[in-house]
Amino acid sequence: MKIFKILAVIVVIAALGAGVAYWLKPKQDDRDYDTQAARVKTISSMVELCTADIHDEMPIKDSINGKWIVARQVLEGRIRFDLDALRIEERGDTTVVYLPPERVDVLENAGPDAYEVLDAWDGRNMIFTRTLTAAEENALKKRWQRQLAGKIYDKGYVRQARANAVKTLAPLLSAMRGSTSGQGAVIVIDPTPEGVR
């Protein structure tokens, strides 16, 4: 009986010691982590398929308000497809997926040597020459970006990007669908008519 009493006292002392240690332990404030912005960025990048990045250096001779400029500019282009816009049809056990319209983004390269003015002059006034304003220069840069977008179509880059997207999406969507024996093929179709740039 004496051993039982001694063990009971040891258990009570140990329990009291643990309670005191827990009570004396410094408390940490609950941290509130906001992850909403990161989640949104991840989702938006997941639903885009990029099939072509274009890096082009353009020699330019252009004018605005009678002021001329000769320059060299590096522009970046990207051809993307919004996977949220895929049109999907079930035909029996076959899934038919239609490629959405492409999105062509053209951006000015931010590198230190990406833009260089080689010559500039005032075509209307040779004595009291006017220089290009920042607004005029920005308007010219936007015009050049539109020209590069046209080149991207004219050189067949978009046509090639659409073909690449079809080749990439078919196995990707088949793999996502799974390998159940009762499921048919996944066919990706580019609805863009042949000959459209």
At residue 40, the pLDDT reads 42
Condensed to tens digits (0 to 9), the pLDDT of residues 11-54 reads 667 776 766 666 666 665 555 545 554 444 444 455 677 778 88
Instruction: Report the alpha-carbon distance of residue 189 to residue 195 in Å, rounded.
Output: 16
Which strands form 186-189's sheet, in the order they lie side by side? 87-91, 94-98, 186-189
Average pLDDT of every residue of the chain: 78
Tokens found for residue 90: 């079930």
Q: Hey, CA dihedral for 169, 172, 175, 176, is it positive or negative?
A: negative
At residue 149, the pLDDT reads 86
Residue holding tokens 């500039």? Answer: 120
At residue 43, the pLDDT reads 43
pTM above 0.75, yes or no: no
Task: Confirm if 73 and 60 have CB atoms less than 8 A apart.
Answer: yes
Condensed to tens digits (0 to 9), the pLDDT of residues 75-112 reads 888 899 988 888 888 888 888 889 999 999 888 888 88
At residue 92, the pLDDT reads 84
Closest CA to 54 of 168, 160, 176: 160
- For residue 176, give the amino acid letter: M
Region 105-133: mean pLDDT is 86
Number of CB atoms found within 10 A of residue 86's CB = 16
Of residues 166 and 192, more confidence is placed in 166
- For residue 160, give the amino acid letter: Q
Number of CB atoms found within 10 A of residue 169's CB = 19
Task: Confirm if 169 and 147 have CB atoms less than 8 A apart.
Answer: no
**Kind and range of the H or E element at 81?**
strand 67-82
- pLDDT-derived band at 114, boundaries 50, 70, 90: confident
Condensed to tens digits (0 to 9), the pLDDT of residues 70-85 reads 999 888 888 999 888 8
Task: Confirm if 75 and 145 have CB atoms less than 8 A apart.
Answer: yes
Region 113-142: mean pLDDT is 87
pLDDT of residue 186 exceeding 60, the answer is yes
Task: Confirm if 174 and 188 have CB atoms less than 8 A apart.
Answer: no
What φ, ψ does residue 76 adopt, rounded to 5°?
Answer: -110, 135
Which CA distances in Å does 183 have to 12, 142, 178?
65, 49, 8
At residue 102, the pLDDT reads 92
